[in-house]
Structure 1
């Protein structure tokens, strides 16, 4: 059984489709009968039948009352398909003309925008340990070559968060070097964490002091975490910088610190 909505692809409304299907089942029907068989409101059925007649799907026969008969589907649906195809062709031409016109109008705006640079496109500012932790993990998971870390107190991430953060690149075979100061290694549970990660490929050295917390991802992005200088409970603001020049400079600083640090021998 064909449903009324199946005829919508040929451009009929739901009421027109219902009326045509109702007419197919009888040699002819009066408007009231079409309304009843097609579940069409009585006040709408006359307009619906007039539209079907104009589209060539039914014939009207004068009488008292006027009656309507369906045109055979082989003829009616071929007419509908032809009209629908022509309508789609017109719409395609109209869309192509509109696209060409709008392209010409919008191209200068786009070109002008390329000459503007937004400094915020290169930097993200994060506050709060939860947001910083989530962003750091996303960056670690997105690294493709190497990670350099400077880890110093006070800690932002828990030991478990640090494990997740470090295992993300280590698990994919990336080079990972971490610089820690002695006070950080003395944090409860941190030395055992380092010991287990060293077994996964983490390379650790100890420095006497580190100027700030830093993670450098590949040669493109750095994450700098800074404690609020106002005092009180540890409060951090982090800045993610997507800039190869900044990343190169901080990687050079990391290499200098790394060269002066001593190897981590485990189990402090």
Structure 2
């Protein structure tokens, strides 16, 4: 494929355009003879070039055609290709969103429980999508079973959380002291590097891990019955009264907590 072909010109379009650069203003018949574009195709080819603003038609009888400068032609072809790539990017992004949704673990009919262990791929995806639904705020209390998990495991869900969060989200993280003790020295820098508004506070202990998204959805971690360092799954709650109570409880805990970075 030629360079002009890479930019989107067909073989006949390139021949006609290059011919006009040599001949200057010319009729369709002259262009056909000089370029080798069949007479039965030359008008379609020239009209296509006109539509792409690579050729102008002069008011004369018979009509004569003039090529725009190579610099103008290349810029216009490049703009076309860029627009096509943007459309492709949008299409692929939509496909990726659909695939991501299809890869979520399948909940039961009531849609209230996700089964998955700490740091597992299925829960990483679920965490990403859960936070991705937030438009204003997420308040998260982080206690058991995270308290006995390794930082590598915590980092998996930490990254999934912030990858899913929109940049203008208000995030309140409430950590138990055992969770805080398991965090690396660079945790403060990790938090500071996030575009979201992130506030972190600590309490000596938390009885359960949960979060509240936009005051409309709450999720509660279910500790694993055979391992204090793991999770069995997550219960997702959308009942307005229950979510409001979780939100109220978080507010009380938050008020008693000690700011970590403030």
TM-score by length of 1: 0.48
Q: TM-score normalized by structure 2? A: 0.49
